[in-house]
Amino acid sequence: YPALYVVATPLGNLGDLTVRAAEVLRAVPWVAAEDTRHSAPLLRHLGSPAKLLPAHEHNEEAAARQVIERLAAGDAVALISDAGTPAISDPGARLVARVREAGFRVIPLPGPCAAVAALSAAGIAAPHWLFHGFLPAKAKQRDDALRELAALPAALVFYEAPHRIVDTVAALAAVFGPARRLVIARELSKLFETIHACPLGEASGWLAADANRQKGEFVLIVDAPADVQGNDAEGERVLKLLLADGL
Ligand code: SAM
């Protein structure tokens, strides 16, 4: 079937590969991968005979043309990234857009995504959340971006790398204030998985207390401002009006 399968792969624990993902990766003749050297062991592990095509952020248009050629020849193609769901803080969106424009079917295979895994275990009751992904590397742009987000009535989800975690957490506390709650989700699905919740004012101290807490891959979730905590203000207003009407 000439379709592009967008396949989520594990964040760390191979057991998180879905049955359907394994079936598709074994069945397709081509796998477009962010880093072919990184993904070759996964295909070997699955016993997949698929050939790898590089599809990273610097060749996405060329990769899209290659993928469309394969689809036009009647072959199915799978798209994977190094970890998690393609196109989520990863390459894939432009390739998918080109394939759709070319009139081919794009089939998502849902699976691991660090943001969703972190949210599911964070205990964040805010009714809305915004996925921001990585912040700008430069301090000024990062702080400008944070100031724009500070008043949103939603929890905010960031991705961060270990070499910036200490600075980023300090910046979050400076911009959002010490009382907003932060959830630090580190090394999800891996051996040293850690999920820690605290007020932003205590987060830098928590990281500093043990150098191991600064290692690995991170999702940071800043909870929504206290006044939108888990309550649907509009819903409550409507309910009060209805009750006042004797309903
Ligand atoms: N496409 C991936 C997804 O679906 O989550 C994200 C890829 S992005 C290039 C990599 C970032 O995702 C890391 O820097 C980290 O912020 C987050 N991440 C990936 N794996 C993680 C894990 N096991 N635990 C915590 N965060 C993780």
Q: Is the ipTM of this complex over 0.85?
A: yes
Distance 173 CA to ligand 1 centre (A): 22
Distance 155 CA to ligand 1 centre (A): 18
Distance 79 CA to ligand 1 centre (A): 17
Distance CA 92, CA 99 (A): 11
Mutation probe of ligand 1 site: the residue of 217, 220, 221 with most atoms within 8 A of C-beta: 217
Task: Identify the CA nearest to 136 among candidates 125, 148, 128.
Answer: 148
Mutation probe of ligand 1 site: the residue of 57, 79, 89, 183 with most atoms within 8 A of C-beta: 89
Q: In the prediction, which pLDDT does 240 show?
A: 65
Distance 111 CA to ligand 1 centre (A): 13
Task: Identify the CA nearest to 219 among candidates 166, 160, 175, 143.
Answer: 160
Residue 212, φ and ψ in degrees, nearest 5: -65, -25
Strand segments, DSSP code E, in 90-243 are 105-109, 129-134, 155-160, 181-186, 194-199, 218-222
Q: In the prediction, which pLDDT does 227 show?
A: 81
* Residues counted in the chain: 247
Instruction: Specify the DSSP class assigned to residue 9.
Output: B
Distance of CA 85 to the CA centre of its chain: 7
Nearest CA residue ID for atom 11, ligand 1: 159
Contacts (Cβ under 8 Å, ≥6 apart) of 221: 118, 119, 122, 124, 129, 155, 156, 157, 158, 182, 183, 185
* Closest approach atom of ligand 1 to CA 85: 4
pTM: predicted TM-score of the whole model, two decimal places: 0.92
* Closest approach atom of ligand 1 to CA 159: 16
Q: In the prediction, which pLDDT does 230 show?
A: 52
Distance CA 246, CA 83 (A): 54
**129-134 and 105-109: which strand pairing?**
unpaired
Q: What is the pLDDT along the chain (247 residues), one digit of tens a residue?
A: 799 999 999 999 999 999 999 999 999 999 999 999 999 999 999 999 999 999 999 999 999 999 999 999 999 999 999 999 999 999 999 999 999 999 999 999 999 999 999 999 999 999 999 999 999 999 999 999 999 999 999 999 999 999 999 999 999 999 999 999 999 999 999 999 999 999 999 999 999 999 999 999 999 999 999 887 655 555 455 446 656 765 5
Residue type, 81: S
CB 136 within 8 A of CB 142: yes
Q: How many helices (H) and strands (E) does the chain have?
A: 9, 10
Distance 102 CA to ligand 1 centre (A): 30
Residue 73: CB atoms within 10 Å: 10
Q: In the prediction, which pLDDT does 161 show?
A: 97
* Closest approach atom of ligand 1 to CA 115: 5
Ramachandran sector of residue 64 (left: φ over 0; alpha: ψ -120 to 50; beta: rest): alpha
Within 6 A (CB) of ligand 1 lie 11-12, 81, 83-85, 88-90, 113-115, 159-161, 185-190, 217-219
